[in-house]
Amino acid sequence: MRKHQRAETIMRRLNEHYPDPAIPLNHHDDFTLLIAVVLSAQCTDKKVNEVTVSLFEHAQTPEEMYQLGEVRILNMIRQLGLSKQKAKNIHRLSEIIVQRFHSSVPQNFNDLESLPGVGHKTASVVMAQAFGVPTFPVDTHIHRLAQRWGLSNGSSVVQTEKDLKKLFPKSAWNKLHLQIIYYGRENCTARGCDGTTCDLCRELYPKRRNPVKWIKA
């Protein structure tokens, strides 16, 4: 099966599995989505969703988050990894959004990535899920599956993103991003599949016998 044929098969199967994938991070609007994505670095979405229940009860706007203060933010997110830095970043980015962007989350990559704690992946998720701009954020699941499915060599997440954008139609990027994440969590997991176990890996590579070694992001 050639690479473009594998891509077509992947889209078809993922549409069968996840016809309407939900955004896994709980949020109310573009600002709370931004906060949730910043918190999700090196954390599970489940843990972030537990923490944001209380956080968003106290603050749902940039003004409210800034007024909450770094110490109180930290106390509410302390159970997450990198909590001190995240609290500092959230407090500062809230201030910047109020002062520089008139309390609105910026809708372009340059301004988003200028905010503390917001890198390319975080900006891509916000652009895709909040504003509907076609992007292809690459997380650890997507990076792993792209290698197992022979779509990218895994040299870097930057290269994986470029490879996936070339293979799949732009109109499918935002949905595929979520679909691959869900499939990676539920079926083609890091330890539960080695490239020879899950249904899709076996369909794409029916003659594969050796485990696929993948390069971590």
Q: Concatenate the DSSP letters of all residues of 21-75 into one string.
A: PPPSS--SSHHHHHHHHHHTTTS-HHHHHHHHHHHHHH--SHHHHHHH-HHHHHH
Q: Are residues 37 and 91 in the same domain?
A: yes
In this structure, what CATH number is given to the domain that contains residue 43? 1.10.340.30
CA dihedral of 88, 124, 43, 84, whole degrees rounded to 10: -10
Q: Are residues 125 and 39 in the same domain?
A: yes
**Is 161 among the domain residues?**
yes
Sequence-distant (6+) residues with CB within 8 A of 215 are 147, 154, 155
Residue with tokens 């959004």: 97
Closest-CA residue to 145 (of 1, 6, 39): 6
Query: Per-residue pLDDT tens for 84-135?
Result: 999 999 999 999 999 999 999 999 999 999 999 999 999 999 999 999 999 9
Q: Which of 69, 100, 129 is the last residue of a domain?
A: 129
Q: Are residues 125 and 179 in the same domain?
A: no
**Is 210 among the domain residues?**
no
Categorize the per-residue pLDDT at 19 as very low, low, confident or very high, splitting at 50, 70 and 90: very high
Is 147's pLDDT higher than 80? Answer: yes
Q: Are residues 35 and 123 in the same domain?
A: yes
**Is 215 among the domain residues?**
no
Query: Per-residue pLDDT tens for 169-179?
Result: 999 999 999 99
Number of domains making up the chain: 2
* pLDDT score recorded for residue 131: 97
